[in-house]
Amino acid sequence: MTDFLNAIVALSNFVLVPGAAYGAQLALGALGVTLIYGILRFSNFAHGDTMAFGTMATILVTWGLQSIGISFGFLPTALIALPIGIAITGLLLLGTDRAIYRFYRKQKAAPVVLVIVSIGVMFVMNGLVRFIIGVGDVNFADGARFVINAREFKEMTGLDEGLAIRTTTLITLVTAAIAVALLFWFLNKTRTGKSMRAFSDNEDLALLSGINPERVVAVTWLIVAALATTAGVLYGLDKSFKAFTYFQLLLPIFAAAIVGGLGNPLGAIAGGFVIAFSEVLITYAWKKVLVYLMPENLEPSGLVQLLSTDYKFAVSFAILITVLLFKPTGLFKGQSV
Amino acid sequence: MKKLLLASAATALVASTAMAESHSDTIKIGIILGFTGPLESITPDMAGGAEMAIDEVNETGAFMGGAQIEAVRADSTCIDSAAATAAAERLVTNDGVAGIMGADCSGVTGAILQNVARANGVVMISPSATSPALSEAEDDGMFFRTAPSDARQGQIMSQVIMDRGIEEVALTYTNNDYGKGLADSFQKAFEADGGTVTISAAHEDGKADYSAEVASLASAGGEVLVVAGYTDQGGKGIIQASLDSGAFDMFVLPDGMIGQQIVDDLGSGLDGSFGQLPGSDSEGTAIFQEMATEAGINPTGIYTGESYDAAALMILAMAKAGSTSASDYAGEIMDIANAPGEQILPGELGRALELIEAGEEIDYVGATAVELIEPGESAGTFKEIEIKDGAIETVGFR
């Protein structure tokens, strides 16, 4: 029995808990990508850097709050700064839309042109973030680091394996759940949300029924700002902030959005978790778990690893390609790419 | 559009050659480092180190009859060989540099060496490329490095671990020429010494999440975790995740992983961890640190001293040969760096130039006690360190 519990704890500690946190972060990022694809009809390559910008704004506000002595008890101060960060990012995105995207929308530019434009925006934001906060690692998490750490858990339960749950992991899951609930409520129950969905389904029909397209676009950017900043801040709290890493986050986020079905919010969430868990599970060395579970004479001597961790990224892209080949609209019905 | 592009490219070309001609009494040295990419946080200090040496020589005015040296920076990106080659090509053909200080990462260094340095006959001195593969690379006598090869560091690291009575380790390395080279040479040395490496798992730098790697490492087990990575990249992510999940509580840190920043970031978690990095207890190190602090450069930054030495060696070799042509001065570099001769410490480049002028032998010691062995790389003294109460303490030298 103890062996069984040890196996479960080891699996939770190294696979389930970190996978869930990473999945939630990817899901929030993928939601932003999918919303832009559904409503504005292009793949926004600047999304990773939007996350970086939002996080940077939040970090600056956090530092401001800390310097005047405000903190949030055992929770990180960044959570108080988050709404202000979202507001600043919202302004930036609305400004970008005004200055750049609107021009191409008026021209009825093809989606691929908008994609290229977004790559340009990506480079500018990239430079902006590095210019303001620098290229180095920024650690801005304060408050209590652990809800329970591995050593305490071992002492409490008397098991050989420890289970660590970080405050940031819990915050990530809770905040992600709240954000997703709010988004779905907004899209399904409010008038603006319904007009956004109408605009996404059939632009011409939506225009005929008197929906103001500029308003839909503006609201979309604001929601994207909120999602991107939240995802970025949660990720930064959980790990740390570095401009380069945020740029690299773009790949798994796109993989998640496409696997789930571009344009489908539910798919984005599922996609986030699929990508996160596939990265961890397929390359996991089962030795530790099996040693606990198997009778002594059957214990494995090797690592019992399906693929070496070198192939971690191959795994998510293999899933991506399989999905595109056999179900181009994604696991949940989205638009085909 | 195409014509416009062509025209502007042509104008740019003409303009820059005109520039090069008008400054013919200026000698240019290219500094090619990864100012963007995974090493972007340490390269500004490295370039600063090299430029310190150049400024120092310019101030003396004693270099080749008062010629001025100009540093031209270029971006190696650390990871993109094509971009690095293009940047180096530009330095050589467009700026007309007399030598290249760089590159930083082993992969791009090899690419530049093969595609640009050998093809154009330009000397390269890298301050930080440590891959063992570069020792065997064809270089036509054009390539030197002020950092020791990781083949040597692997052996030293194995001894450091063995001396502490640890015989079973897990190993993770950053998936590039540096990480793979160091991991391989360490594993070979450690197994030859009778130790066991339970797992050797690669990690990618700058990625979002390292739970998969840590999960596998934890499952394989081991008394300590050897992390052949970078302080502000995947290496740090792996250590952070290992500490958080309680997978490992002691780490072995080679050169790329040692820096005050990571110790500050991770706090008490790193206490008791140990490692080694190229370094010596020479006088030169202390003098260089003082000079660097004055110049506003982080003196403990990794490879800053090696960068200063690389630039200084190149300049002194040119002075000794009395020529900026690679075929003339490449042969002098080993002579300058090694005994016999008057020892030259940082800040004494002016005196070195005087001695060379007077026809006397010099032995450049510099910031890192440079001693070059065949085929043109640093012999390498290593500093063993241990982290105690949030500070990096030197335990000894090997």
Taking CB atoms and an 8 Å limit, are B206 and A18 in contact across chains?
no
CATH, range B151-280+381-397: 3.40.50.2300
* Residue A259: closest CA among A337, A187, A206, A204: A337
Helix A191-201 × helix A213-238 angle, to 10°: 100
Q: How many domains does chain A have?
A: 1
Alpha carbons B190 and B186: distance in angstroms, whole number:
6
* pLDDT tens figures, A83-120: 999 999 999 999 999 999 999 988 888 989 999 999 99
* pLDDT tens figures, A112-168: 999 999 999 999 999 999 999 988 788 888 877 788 888 888 888 888 888 888 888
Instruction: Output phi, psi for B345, to 5 deg.
Output: -100, 170
Q: Tell me the percentage of chain A whose pLDDT exceeds 70.
A: 99
* pLDDT tens figures, B26-81: 899 999 999 987 778 789 999 999 999 999 999 998 888 889 999 999 999 988 99
**Integer angstrom CA distances of residue A260 from A31, A156, A235, A272, B311:** 10, 40, 21, 8, 53
Is the pTM above the cut of 0.80?
Answer: no
Structure tokens given for A280: 């961890």
Taking CB atoms and an 8 Å limit, are A235 and B245 in contact across chains?
no
Q: How far is CA A117 from the centre of its chain?
A: 23
Largest separation between any pair of C-alpha atoms in chain B: 70
Tell whether A26 is covered by a domain: yes
Return the residue of A nearest to B241 by Cα.
A239
DSSP state of A16: I
**Which of chain B's residues have a Cβ under 8 Å away from the Cβ of A308?**
201-202
* pLDDT tens figures, B129-185: 988 889 888 999 999 999 888 888 898 999 999 999 999 999 999 988 788 889 999
Query: What top-level class would CATH report for the domain B2-148+285-378?
Result: alpha beta
Residue B99, strand partner residues: B29, B123
Alpha carbons B195 and B165: distance in angstroms, whole number:
10
Q: Tell me the percentage of chain B whose pLDDT exceeds 70.
A: 94
Distance between A305 CA and the closest CA of chain B, angstroms: 8
Taking CB atoms and an 8 Å limit, are A239 and B237 in contact across chains?
yes
* pLDDT tens figures, A30-63: 999 999 998 888 999 999 999 999 999 999 999 9
For every residue of B132-150, DSSP letters joined together read THHHHS--TT-EEEEEE-H
In this prediction, residue A166 carries a pLDDT of 86
**In chain B, where the domains are located:** 2-148+285-378, 151-280+381-397
Taking CB atoms and an 8 Å limit, are B38 and A244 in contact across chains?
yes
In this prediction, residue B373 carries a pLDDT of 87
Structure tokens given for B175: 């998936």
Taking CB atoms and an 8 Å limit, are B208 and A244 in contact across chains?
no
In this prediction, residue A335 carries a pLDDT of 64
Alpha carbons A68 and A265: distance in angstroms, whole number:
39
Taking CB atoms and an 8 Å limit, are B215 and A235 in contact across chains?
no
Confidence band (pLDDT; 50, 70, 90) for B14?
A: very low
- List the single residue in A245, A288, A309 with the smallest CB-CB distance to B201: A309
In this prediction, residue A306 carries a pLDDT of 79
* Residue B292: closest CA among B31, B125, B105, B50: B50
Tell whether A308 is covered by a domain: yes
Helix A243-260 × helix A312-326 angle, to 10°: 30
For residue B296, how many other CB atoms are within 10 A of its CB?
A: 8
Contact between B229 and B173 under an 8 Å Cβ cutoff? The reply is yes
In this prediction, residue A174 carries a pLDDT of 92
Contact between A279 and B212 under an 8 Å Cβ cutoff? The reply is yes
- List the single residue in B208, B211, B214 with the smallest CB-CB distance to A252: B208
* Residue B224: closest CA among B274, B281, B298: B274
**Which of chain A's residues have a Cβ under 8 Å away from the Cβ of B261?**
136-137
Range of the structural domain that residue A29 is part of: 2-326
Residue A213 belongs to domain with CATH number: 1.10.3470
Interface list for A 162-201 with B (CB within 8 A): 162, 164, 166
* pLDDT tens figures, B195-249: 999 999 889 887 778 888 888 898 888 899 999 988 777 888 899 889 888 889 8
Range A246-272 average pLDDT: 89
In this prediction, residue B8 carries a pLDDT of 55
Alpha carbons B67 and B135: distance in angstroms, whole number:
34
Range B332-361 average pLDDT: 91
Range B236-263 average pLDDT: 87
Domains B2-148+285-378 and B151-280+381-397 belong to one CATH topology: yes
**Which of chain A's residues have a Cβ under 8 Å away from the Cβ of B209?**
18, 22, 239, 276, 279
Return the residue of B nearest to A150 by Cα.
B246
Tell whether A24 is covered by a domain: yes
Confidence band (pLDDT; 50, 70, 90) for B6?
A: low
Tell whether A143 is covered by a domain: yes
Tell whether A51 is covered by a domain: yes
Range B382-392 average pLDDT: 88
**Which of chain B's residues have a Cβ under 8 Å away from the Cβ of A10?**
218-219
Residues 6+ apart with CB under 8 A from B5: none
Structure tokens given for A250: 């773009």
**Integer angstrom CA distances of residue A41 from A108, A128, A209, A224, A335:** 11, 26, 20, 14, 10
The average confidence (pLDDT) of chain B is 87
- Statement: residue B96 has pLDDT above 60: yes
Q: Looking at the complex, does the CB of residue A151 fall below 8 Å from at least one CB of chain B?
A: yes
Residue B29, strand partner residues: B71, B99
In this prediction, residue B112 carries a pLDDT of 95
Tell whether A336 is covered by a domain: no
Residues 6+ apart with CB under 8 A from B353: B57, B60, B62, B63, B316, B319
